[in-house]
Amino acid sequence: MKKALISVWNKDKIIDLSKFLVKNDFEIISTGGTKKILEDNQIKVTSISEVTNFNEIMNGRVKTLHPKIFGGILADKNNESHLEDLKSIDSTIIDLVVVNLYPFEDMSKNSDLSFDKLIEYIDVGGPSMLRAAAKNFQSVIALCNPALYENFMIEYSKNSGIIDYESRKEYAKQVFLETSKYDSLIFNEFSKNNSEELSNSLNINLSKTFDLRYGENPHQISSFYTDKDISIFKQLSGKKLSYNNFFDIETSIRIVNEFDEICCCIIKHSNPCGFAIGNNLIESFDRAVSCDPVSYFGGIVGFNKKITADLAKKLIEPFLECIVCPDIDDDALEILKMKKNLRVIVYNNNYNFSNISVRSVLGGMLSQSSSTKFNEQDWQVVTESKPDKINFNALRLGWKIVKYVKSNAIVIANDKQIIGVGAGQMSRVDSVKIAIQKCKENGFDFSNAILASDAFFPFSDSIEVANKNGIKHFIQPGGSIKDKEIIKISDKLKVSMIFTNQRLFFH
């Protein structure tokens, strides 16, 4: 008679599996809560203590950690001496180990639980049995998750009780995934502290959510991984997301959430090419398009309010890649769905983006905190000329957007929208020239225009070029050794300048 050891916290599907096992002549060995629920369902169970002749001690802390159990799990079925050793301790082979672990993860999310109580949920016996069975997968089958039971039963029935090598190995693999995640979660709980330092180790354990069509380029494969509980966004319609879509969607969500005003942003090639506030979404969309009516073609469009049918009708006119919003009316969604390829993404407005981002480089990973709080309290007007209220609103708007433009980043804006963007140049003055060029191409004049720079001006040339075109207000971090000279020239040109004391340099 085959033997199955069952000890599960998560009781899903355990009755079905157990009945299946009994029907297939398994003896079921169990204890505690699992034993009780099986017996309540008229399933015959042998108690673990009957096998070990050993009563559980210390409120169950030590139940299964016994040589008769581990001998039965670890014995190689094809090794005669192992089988003799088993006999000598009056034990026999265990064929199947069905175990899942104390719910440490769920408990860790219960903020009422103290650390001392939480550690009671560290499972010791469970991982030991699972790991032993997984190591010995050629002799023993380990099922660590209710999701695996059905496959097991199907294969068992089909192949008259034989589970093939690949399936066994797959089950074993799942065990090590489970135990590594489990201990990594515990480690993270032990590591929690209030200091600003980054943790001494980087432990990431995520599951594949889906494969992408491809990575940055068609010859690159790519997948998206998340924690199973995280659902920051949902795709309601359209083609599969591309690799770059992910970054652009994140940027669009971050940008529109910088503003309390109703607003719209358009991202193209990972840079904002349009942004505007308006009295409603339609006005803000039209205005955002006006920033660069050529480049917005194929863009990712983000909103911070619910999309209505009126807006949806406008959004299906041009070719766009994605629409990103916190909510959408049903009829608006129906309209957007008419364009089959158009991706519609709804984001969770209550989601907090992680404060830590990581990225692989040079045979390792770089991790950094990403908190960049809007720091108006640290701003200083360093020039004789001061911005008026309208200019100040424009400076605020430009500073919020320049953070999302790739360095060297220049944004020219007024108090309603951006009107020119210069990005990714190796020299700052080149970005200034490009931004000015864009303004001109798109028919903007520079009255009330401000210029925002993500890092300090190393020379005064940028200010001179901008001022020649009529720009009179500047915002930048400051911090150059030439600051004094730059303030002097600004005063000479009668322009205003704010030092924010915070650099927003991003690639």
Task: Report the catalytic residues.
Answer: 135, 269
Shortest Cβ distance from residue 434 to a copy of itself (Å)?
A: 7
Q: Which of residues 122-141 bind a copy of itself (CB under 8 A)?
A: 122, 124, 127-128, 131-132, 134-135, 137-138
The answer to the question of residue 65 lying near a copy of itself (CB under 8 A) is yes
- Three-state DSSP state, 429: helix
- Residue 193, preceding bond cis, omega within 30 degrees? no
Nearer to a copy of itself, 171 or 446 (CB): 171
Shortest Cβ distance from residue 130 to a copy of itself (Å)?
A: 10
Options 10, 41, 203, 380; binder of a copy of itself; rule CB under 8 A: 203
Q: Which of residues 83-102 bind a copy of itself (CB under 8 A)?
A: 85-86, 88-89
Radius of gyration of the chain (CA): 31
The answer to the question of residue 371 lying near a copy of itself (CB under 8 A) is yes
Nearer to a copy of itself, 307 or 345 (CB): 345
Residue identified by tokens 């430009």 is 398
Nearer to a copy of itself, 66 or 472 (CB): 66
Q: Which of residues 351-370 bind a copy of itself (CB under 8 A)?
A: 351, 353-354, 356-370
The answer to the question of residue 199 lying near a copy of itself (CB under 8 A) is yes
Options 62, 282, 333, 390; binder of a copy of itself; rule CB under 8 A: 62
The answer to the question of residue 216 lying near a copy of itself (CB under 8 A) is yes
CB atoms within 10 A of CB 26: 18
Nearer to a copy of itself, 249 or 451 (CB): 249
**E runs forming strands in 333-455:** 343-347, 356-361, 364-369, 380-381, 410-413, 418-422, 450-453
The answer to the question of residue 147 lying near a copy of itself (CB under 8 A) is no
Sequence-distant (≥ 6) Cβ neighbours of residue 6 within 8 angstroms = 14, 18, 28, 29, 30, 34, 38, 98, 99
For residue 405, the one-letter residue type is: V
Per CB under 8 A, the segment of 3-11, 33-41, 394-402, 416-424 that binds a copy of itself is: 416-424
* CB-neighbour burial class of residue 188 (10 A; exposed 0-12, middle 13-18, buried 19+): middle
The answer to the question of residue 503 lying near a copy of itself (CB under 8 A) is yes
Q: Which of residues 439-478 bind a copy of itself (CB under 8 A)?
A: none
Residue 128 tokens, joined: 């030991």
- Three-state DSSP state, 349: coil
| Nearest Cα residue to 324 out of 263, 379, 374, 366 | 263
Virtual torsion, Cα 267, 273, 274, 275, nearest 10 deg: 80
The answer to the question of residue 49 lying near a copy of itself (CB under 8 A) is no
Options 295, 462, 467, 496; binder of a copy of itself; rule CB under 8 A: 295
H, E, C per residue of 297-340: CCCEEEECCCECHHHHHHHCCCCCCEEEECCECHHHHHHHHCCC
Shortest Cβ distance from residue 279 to a copy of itself (Å)?
A: 27
Sequence-distant (≥ 6) Cβ neighbours of residue 183 within 8 angstroms = 127
Nearer to a copy of itself, 201 or 279 (CB): 201
Options 44, 147, 187, 386; binder of a copy of itself; rule CB under 8 A: 187
Options 46, 244, 257, 385; binder of a copy of itself; rule CB under 8 A: 244
Nearer to a copy of itself, 146 or 424 (CB): 424
Shortest Cβ distance from residue 444 to a copy of itself (Å)?
A: 16
Shortest Cβ distance from residue 382 to a copy of itself (Å)?
A: 19
The answer to the question of residue 502 lying near a copy of itself (CB under 8 A) is yes
Q: How far is CA 276 from the centre of its chain?
A: 27
Per CB under 8 A, the segment of 1-9, 26-34, 199-207, 328-336 that binds a copy of itself is: 199-207
- What does DSSP say about strands 263-268 and 418-422: parallel, antiparallel, or unpaired? unpaired
* CB-neighbour burial class of residue 383 (10 A; exposed 0-12, middle 13-18, buried 19+): buried
Shortest Cβ distance from residue 120 to a copy of itself (Å)?
A: 8
Nearer to a copy of itself, 300 or 497 (CB): 300
DSSP string, 14-35: HHHHHHHHHHTTEEEEE-HHHH
Residue 287 tokens, joined: 């205005």
Shortest Cβ distance from residue 374 to a copy of itself (Å)?
A: 12
